[in-house]
Amino acid sequence: MASSPRFSQRQLRAMLLRAAAVIGKPLRALGSSTQAGQLTQSVNNVPAHMRFRAGENSAHPVFLGNHTVLALLHGRLLMYLDSRSADVAPHIMMWGAWEPQYTALFQALLRKGDTVLDIGAHLGVYTLLGALGAGPTGQVHAFEPNRRYAQLLRRSTNVNGFSGFTTVHNVAVGAEAGRAELHFSWEMGGGGHLAVRPGGPPEGSESIRCEVVALDQLFPDPAFKVDVIKMDVEGTETFAVRGMTALLQRSPRLRIMFEFAPQMLRGHGSSPAELVQELAALGFRFWTIGTDSHLTPVSAEALSGWTEGVTNILAARGDPYTG
């Protein structure tokens, strides 16, 4: 019998997080006190679970007509998709997963009873995983300004039994309440964004009017606190943060996963420094999320100076896994 391979704590953490994305079971934070032997045993148990998910518990996507497909996310969550998508939907239809390195980390952040916000939900990958992790003792709020995607996401939450503690808001999130133009394409629906300048949508895109809310106005109750936020709003993150400053201040355990794209921030009337300073002023520290789900600390000063690229960032005041 071959001896068990020796892995570093970092390698084991990455393997377990990536396996969790396939297995569909959220992993709790793996603290420094976790023994290497326990981790190795968990890794050795992964293949059987993966075979189960890929075999007996998998299903082919079903086309329902009207550009609608029913598929399985992580082998266990029914999910309605738009068949015109060339970004997110094909990956879920073929592999049952999207952004496994980031969804694995997202699941590791969650506890039963958490309050979770998915800002820029699109088809709802993080909404469904958030509902699975938080459970019926928690609550999940998803924000998606595209009516079609919001309708599909409501169907997904209903069919999975999450509707009792998950709310889908057909709105965008910004600095203040109002109306805005949403530019999007059915082919690359994950890239929909609010227009910040007059004029029509880019070539190949469509435009619809949508409602914008400020989360401080939507959630005025001082007892309402948030544990985990995923935010991907294609360059308008600064304005979303400005509209929820009070909510962020009163949420001590909050961890925020967000897309950080300096060029998109500047293209929407903000800057990397503005977004970072808004969060740093509230006590947040920052980590980059690697392709192996590993977190690497990055200073606010360094992050403010970034000029290009697209990187996923985790912001937290305390331990990034426990808040």
Cα–Cα distances in angstroms (integers) from residue 122 to residues 60, 154, 170, 186, 253, in the given order: 22, 11, 10, 11, 25
pTM of the model: 0.82
Q: What's the pLDDT at 59? A: 72
Map out the domains of the chain with their CATH numbers: 9-54 (no CATH), 98-316 (3.40.50.150)
Cα–Cα distances in angstroms (integers) from residue 254 to residues 57, 278, 322, in the given order: 34, 15, 9
For residues 175 and 240, is the Cβ–Cβ distance under 8 A? yes
Residue partners of 109: CB distance under 8 A and separation at least 6? 29, 228, 255, 257, 320, 321
Q: What's the pLDDT at 188? A: 72
Summarize pLDDT for 179-213 with one digit per residue, the tens.
999 888 878 767 666 776 666 666 667 888 999 99
Q: What's the pLDDT at 310? A: 94
Q: What's the pLDDT at 186? A: 76
Three-point CA angle 226, 228, 229, nearest 5°? 95
Q: What's the pLDDT at 314? A: 98
Flag residues of the chain having pLDDT under 70.
Answer: 1-58, 189, 191-193, 196-204
> How does DSSP classify residue 306?
-
